[in-house]
Structure 1
């Protein structure tokens, strides 16, 4: 936070933190930097376990770049997540990538999955909108 005059958290150059909050709230684990595929396996695995995902289900995918993660890195991560979901027999029917919820100098990613249980949900996600953001 700029007015505080010091970082809300500190990570080493080669360190990542899983589960960190948008305002720097601590996550559930710190470790050395991992390749995109390993990050995707960690995050996707936790979400699919929580969903009790079953082959044949349809999902919407949102990847948020937090503000300082290059779009190319978001696409590499998205490809890894889509591959993992496909290997699990899940169908990704909607994708959105970009910087949607940002924080000052925040490099990282957030992953959101939404199980599409009703065709109207997918229709709503795909509907044109006029907003100042999204």
Structure 2
């Protein structure tokens, strides 16, 4: 497991702003954070609460805004938020079959075993087989 696989939204925000951050204030981070879809901007107070590991209400606009403000890929910020607030982790179940270059990611909660992940792969394969037209 890499460090990135264990990072939380609090770590991402705190690494950018506040007393241990890379030089930004929460006010500056707030100014940089805007959801590209809705224009929503989280307040400096809300970002401070995230950066100090306080509970906040998560929503897609907030995650997109934080990703934009941090200049990080949305998927990385989503994974960090899911890990912290839901206890889930993004995993690749190893399903790579098919004619297209396809990546399938699932969220799992802590404690799910590799055996459970194989079951996800089996489900995806079975689904594909059921969706393919019969060739005769």
Q: Confirm or deny a common fold (TM above 0.5).
A: no
TM-score (norm 2): 0.24
Greater helix percent: which structure? 2
TM-score (norm 1): 0.24
Greater strand percent: which structure? 1
- Structure with the larger RCO, 1 or 2 (CA within 8 Å, 6+ apart): 1
